[in-house]
Every structure is written in structure tokens, then in C-alpha cells.
Structure 1
Amino acid sequence: MSGYRSNSKRSQNLSESKLKRALEHNQRLREQLDIPRIKVSEASEALIKYCNSTKDHLVPSVWGPVDRGADPYQPTTSGGCCIIM
């Protein structure tokens, strides 16, 4: 009989563990349900407006070529190199 009780207890613990995981998963899904959403077309339009209104030196196809002096990504030219004496 003691073997039956231990199997029953183990089965009950397993069932409780599965129920706990299911409830936690359900709670996460409910939290995701509350996240505000927008349509893809609205997000795309907002992204296009941002890209057209924010100057980006890495997109010359939109803004044209960048002057070397105004390009923050242009490697700096130094007058020499480090000399160890």
C-alpha cells in the first residue's frame, strides 16, 4: 500500500506542477494581450516618415553624397604615426 501512496503523491505533485506551468503561461498570454498594437501599414508609414525626416549619413541614396568634413563616419587622417624612442 505504501508504494501506491507514493505513486499517488508523485502523480499529484506532477499534476500540480503542470497546472502551475499552465497558469503561468496563461498569465503571460494575458499580459501580451494588453500590449497596444498598431497595423503594419501604420508602422511602415511612421518608419518611412522618420527615415525621410532624419538625416542619416549612411543612406546617401536618400540624402545624397556627404561632404567629407560633415561625415562623422569618415576616418580621421592624422599627420603622422606614433614613434617610440
Structure 2
Amino acid sequence: MSKQTISETKLRKLLELNQKLKEQLDISRVPISEASRSLIEYCQSTQDMMIPSIWGSKNPDPFTEPTAGCGCSLM
């Protein structure tokens, strides 16, 4: 490889990196305070059926398959 070819390759890589960095600058950002507030509001307004101590008594899980009898199985 000649010096010119190596220099051209380095230049191309730098230009590609520069383009990727410019694309990252265009990505919209949300301030952490706004993201935190949004997450807190979501957690307070959305019921989590796996935490009955927070939301009251446990309701039957609508996603489980109904079992006949005691639900035990022998292996």
C-alpha cells in the first residue's frame, strides 16, 4: 500500500465517524428530570398485579390457565 492509499483510507474512516457523530447529534433527547417524572407518574397510575401490598387484595390472574382440583401434579 502506498502512503496515499493509507491516507485516503484514514480520511474515509474519519469522515464515516464524523457522519455517525452528526447523526447522533440529531437524535432527540429528553432531560433526565422529565424522564424521571414521567416514569414516576406511570408507576403511580399503573397497577402492578404482582405487588398486592400496594394495590390491595390480589385478584385472580387472568393469564393463568384454570386448574381442576387442587392443581397438584405427580411426577
1:18 aligns with 2:7: no
Residue 36 of structure 1 aligns to which amino acid in structure 2? Answer: S
Higher helix share: 1
Which of the numbers 36, 41, 48 marks the counterpart of 1:56? 48
Report the Cα offset of residue 77 of structure 1: 3.7
1:37 aligns with 2:29: yes
Q: How many residues align?
A: 71
Percent identical pairs in the alignment equals 49
TM-score using structure 2 length? 0.70
* Unpaired runs of at least 5, structure 2: none
* Unpaired runs of at least 5, structure 1: 1-8
1:61–1:15 CA distance, 2 compared to 1 (3 A): farther
Matches of 1:34 and 1:61 in 2, distance apart?
44
Matches of 1:33 and 1:23 in 2, distance apart?
15
TM-score using structure 1 length? 0.64
